Structure 1
Amino acid sequence: MRFAKVAAASAAVLLLAGACGGGGEESGSGDVPKELTVWVMGDSQPKLVDYFKEVDAAWKEKHPESSVKAEFIPWADVQKTLTTALAGGDAPDVLEVGNDQVSNWASQGALLDITKPTEEWGDAKDMDQAALEYGRFDGVQYGVPWFSGVRTLYYRADWLKDLGLEAPTDWKSLVDVAKKIQDEKDVPGFCAPTDFTNGIASFIWSNGGEIAVQDGDKWEGRLTDAKTKEAIEFYAGLNSKEKVSPKGAMNANELDACLPEMANGKLGMYIDGSWARGAMEETAEDKKVVDEIATVPMPGADGIAPAMAGGSDLAVFADGESTEAATELMLLLGNKEWGDKYAEAAGFFPAYPEMLDDEKYTKTGDAKASAEQAKNTKFFPATPKWNKADLDQKILPKAVLSIAKGEDADKVLKDANDELTKTLNEKVE
């Protein structure tokens, strides 16, 4: 799952040891190459650099003549970089893949079948089984969960305290609190960007609706179902009916429309992930404003709304020259010890539910809210065509935008549902 839009000109490369060359070019002891390469999506933050230094040391304990090299690939470059690798360019041994993109890359032949080693892997039984299943395509395991991330509700705690209000826990209180913030603080109460499938999905799921369901080999869009329609109309209505959302939220995403406003004291509430606080601190003109922002689980129709189970999987590149060693490294990175360490270093959550109760994930602030939210999650349709429907065609965001502009919801959702069903059922080549 793509967590943040990272602007960078090129991939940052971290050489963790003195060995040179790409993975598999030279052999060390046995069938283990002198160097194995891991592609990590995002920027090379200091904590992640330190993490891979420790991984390299752990790998060397078993394979003294082999090293681990991590290359950080900006999210904006992922599609192009993987496509180039698939076409025969420089390729990694192990790679991070957004969990909603595993089926897409697996269908193109980029990922190795890791069904057998995963079935024989002891830690797999303690993973989030839904997340593990999400790493399968056509009954074959191609990815294993590395970490998870969820969105929560960010709100101005100081403002709510001044107004004698509690953080909202359902749709009704969300609107009530948003209107009171708007009346008293003269800023929009809640930001509801229309180009925000992850957030919109939570509203749909919390009302008992679905975006699409699989029936045998076919996918059926559910955008016209009564509960889904009700949720979409409620969300769109935060802009058009309740008018608690800023005008800039129309045809915009949360990063552009909401985060800067929240960071600079011009917004009462919005939905984003734990990774957003760092961006707010960078954006804020007055850092003290960010200190007043708190988080709680997302309010649903009646109680906590399910969050999109964001996160990334680890996979092995199918055309790598040392797939056996790469699989061993992948399972090392994803095991309980190193999976937990990466989640903590990256600011996310481990793929093992039992770890969510650890004090470091539940103690205070954002971690506490996110850990609670992480226990209530759902996944997008597990099909290679979901990326096309959402990222390319933007079927759901366009429908929400049209309804927010006042177009007939029945017609908009029927057309969108027909397009969604058609796209999800396109033949995978």
Structure 2
Amino acid sequence: MRRRLLALVCVSASLLTGCGLMPQGDGGGRRTVTVWLMKDSASPDFLRRFTEDFERTHTDLDLDIRIQEWTGIGPKVQAALKAGSGESAAGEDLPDVIEVGNTQVPQYVDKGGLLDLTLESLRDWGGDRWLPGLAEPGRLRGTQYGIPWYAANRVVIYRKDLFAEAGVKTPPRTRAEWLDATARLDEGPAQGIYLAGQDWYTLSGFIWDEGGELAEERDGGWKGALDTPAALRGMDFYRRLQALGEGPVAADEEHPPQADVFARGAVAQIIAVPGLARAILAQNPDLEGKLGFFPVPGPTADRPGSVFTGGSDLIVPRNTDDREGALAVVDALTGEKWNSELARTMDYVPNKADLADAVAGEEGVAAMAKGAAQGRATPSTPEWAVVEADNPIKAYMTAVLSGGDPETEARKASRRITELLQVTLN
């Protein structure tokens, strides 16, 4: 995904390098599998333990795990996918397995060069149980190319003390309860909620809850869909919730960073990944023990609201010279044992909802895991990156929150999204 959600972790950069973390094999018939993983996705200790276990149980394989920077990774992956067998990518051995952002997968599929993993996902890897927000963007035209590894999504971070003072005894479970509780909180000394006007990831969840979409595939192409009745209902809920605080209508959640706003102590709630609580406490240690977490409420109490799911998938280049070794690595990293261990170590959501017990002991991550079961991703088309670069959704939100007619502004934004989705990426 273009904008990472990984405020969840803080791994010392000094422990990671751009070259292999593990020594390569010393011959004797053993083969080396080269794996590209992204910086801060897994701790060095996790990678050491995983490598030791993998090489012990796969006596013919050695792992060469190479840590990559997110900045500039797109062109580097594209170059690796285009390279011929035996060539190198930017001075490195060609990767056999690559970690990519879940919503990046369509871009790599569009250029070719990925191995079809549909059979393995259905036969061996429990693909029918994957989180939809990870699995769906890894699938294009019925073929599975990206294998879900880990997820992260937004929850509500709230002040337990302010909730108690306002008489809100339990976290709301429905949208109606949420609006009522937030209105009561907003009558006190703090904002009921700090919600920036251009937080389009959060808006997406409200639209999905209403049965709407950001864009739809129709007649062989993609078209903007913000002007549908369902999408307009999602925007109307966003408008009502956002009005119960003082979030800027013409800025997103990073301008200013909402952790900074929350840390100043005059906010009852924000919508963010739970790891943001660390940044809040670093700025305001007096809030220690006062922060709580609950899933974004849905229209009814039977399930949480829909949320945008970020995270990573694993892909296998078609030019790998060790398909068997690559599949063994994917199998191990995404399997129950090590996927659960990664989630516990890094405060992630595992790749299957039925593995959520692995993080049940952490309040914020447990809330995140409940929401992840209703997770979604952006439209599965390579051109969506162009939409995000221009982002008419943000301009639409600001226009509506500034008093513009929702239907008029939604039609305008939908037309722009349609135009952008007709762009062919080079």
* Equivalent residue, structure 2, for 1:106: 109
Partner SS for 2:121: helix
**For residues 241-260 of structure 1, what are the alpha-carbon distances to aligned partners after superposition, in whole Å with 9 as ceiling and x for unaligned?**
x351333x632225744222
**For residues 116-138 of structure 1, what are the alpha-carbon distances to aligned partners after superposition, in whole Å with 9 as ceiling and x for unaligned?**
44344254454346743432223
Give, in whole Å, the separation in 2 of the partners of 1:317 and 1:194.
Answer: 40
* Equivalent residue, structure 1, for 2:236: 233
The answer as to 2:182 corresponding to 1:184 is no
Q: Is the 8 A contact 2:196 2:253 kept in 1?
A: yes
Identity of aligned residues (%): 23
Partner SS for 2:31: coil
The answer as to 2:31 corresponding to 1:32 is yes
Give, in whole Å, the separation in 1 of the partners of 2:133 and 2:238.
Answer: 27
Give, in whole Å, the separation in 1 of the partners of 2:355 and 2:98.
Answer: 24
1:181 aligned partner, one-letter code: L
Identify the match of residue 415 of structure 1 among 397, 402, 412.
Answer: 412
Identify the match of residue 289 of structure 1 among 267, 280, 287.
Answer: 287
262 and 73 in structure 1: CA distance in 2 versus 1, 3 angstrom threshold: farther
1:32 aligned partner, one-letter code: R
Give, in whole Å, the separation in 2 of the partners of 1:255 and 1:350.
Answer: 30
* Equivalent residue, structure 2, for 1:162: 165
Give, in whole Å, the separation in 2 of the partners of 1:70 and 1:346.
Answer: 18
Identify the match of residue 366 of structure 1 among 342, 364, 367.
Answer: 364
Give, in whole Å, the separation in 2 of the partners of 1:270 and 1:428.
Answer: 36
Give, in whole Å, the separation in 2 of the partners of 1:62 and 1:155.
Answer: 45
Partner SS for 2:187: helix
Q: Is the 8 A contact 1:32 1:63 kept in 2?
A: no
Q: How does 1:19-418 map to 2 (within 5 A)?
A: 19=24, 28=27, 30=29, 32-33=31-32, 36-43=33-40, 48-64=43-59, 66-83=61-78, 85-86=80-81, 88-89=89-90, 90=92, 91-128=94-131, 131-166=134-169, 167-185=171-189, 187-215=190-218, 217-239=220-242, 242=243, 244-247=245-248, 250-254=250-254, 256-282=256-282, 284=283, 286-303=284-301, 304-356=304-356, 358=357, 360-363=358-361, 365-389=363-387, 391-418=388-415
Partner SS for 1:75: coil
- Stretches of structure 2 that go unaligned for 5 or more consecutive residues are 83-88
Deviation (angstroms), 1:160: 0.8
256 and 77 in structure 1: CA distance in 2 versus 1, 3 angstrom threshold: farther
Give, in whole Å, the separation in 2 of the partners of 1:220 and 1:159.
Answer: 43
Partner SS for 1:271: strand
Give, in whole Å, the separation in 1 of the partners of 2:348 and 2:180.
Answer: 31
**For residues 306-333 of structure 1, what are the alpha-carbon distances to aligned partners after superposition, in whole Å with 9 as ceiling and x for unaligned?**
1123321111234444344223212221
Report the TM-score, using the length of structure 2 for normalisation: 0.84
1:231 aligned partner, one-letter code: G
2:65 aligned partner, one-letter code: A
* Equivalent residue, structure 2, for 1:17: 22
**For residues 38-95 of structure 1, what are the alpha-carbon distances to aligned partners after superposition, in whole Å with 9 as ceiling and x for unaligned?**
22234276xx211111221122224446432333334344335435545642343211
- Stretches of structure 1 that go unaligned for 5 or more consecutive residues are 20-25
1:415 aligned partner, one-letter code: K
Q: Is the 8 A contact 2:222 2:421 kept in 1?
A: yes
Give, in whole Å, the separation in 1 of the partners of 2:13 and 2:381.
Answer: 31
Over aligned residue pairs, what C-alpha RMSD do you find? 3.1
* Equivalent residue, structure 1, for 2:86: none
Give, in whole Å, the separation in 2 of the partners of 1:361 and 1:144.
Answer: 21
* Equivalent residue, structure 2, for 1:23: none
Report the TM-score, using the length of structure 1 for normalisation: 0.84
1:376 aligned partner, one-letter code: Q
